[in-house]
């Protein structure tokens, strides 16, 4: 499955679980029930685990942690009413712009 299809499918599942709101049956719903701060905290934990895997573990471990990171980012985006289309649009807006130039153009 292509990455776009995978992210679209993941986003749909996350949105369905959030809408159902059944914290007893869904990890996504149970995490969301704890609030956005808890979702963000979990995303941070997954980011740290991804960094550790990149520096000390094999490719399979890094791939697994990257998947966890993307999963939890999808939950956070959905909790804010955003999705991968918004992220893709921002990436598209930045395309063709130097990373240094893009960063310099951000408000301080």
Residue 73 CA to residue 75 CA, distance in Å, equals 5
Tell me the two tokens of residue 69: 């990171």
- In terms of residues, how long is the chain? 108
Q: Comparing C-alpha atoms, which of 106, 48, 30, 43 is closest to residue 77?
A: 43
Residue 1: the pLDDT is 85
Q: Compute the mean pLDDT over every residue in the chain, rounded to the nearest whole number.
A: 95
Residue 46 CA to residue 24 CA, distance in Å, equals 22
* pLDDT tens for each residue of 28-71: 999 999 999 999 999 999 999 999 999 999 999 999 999 999 99
Where do the domains of the chain lie, and which CATH numbers do they carry? 3-105 (1.10.287.1080)
Q: Comparing C-alpha atoms, which of 8, 18, 12 is closest to residue 80?
A: 18
């Amino acid at each position: 499955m292509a990455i776009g299809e995978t992210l679209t499918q993941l986003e749909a599942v996350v949105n369905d679980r959030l809408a159902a709101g059944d914290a007893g049956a869904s990890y996504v719903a149970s995490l969301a029930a704890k609030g956005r701060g808890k979702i963000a905290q979990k995303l941070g934990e997954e980011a740290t685990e991804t960094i550790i895997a990149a520096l000390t573990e094999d490719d399979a471990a890094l791939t697994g942690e990257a998947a966890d990171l993307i999963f939890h980012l999808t939950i956070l985006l959905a909790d804010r009413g955003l999705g991968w289309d918004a992220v893709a649009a921002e990436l598209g807006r930045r395309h063709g712009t130097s990373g240094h130039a893009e960063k310099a153009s951000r408000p301080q």
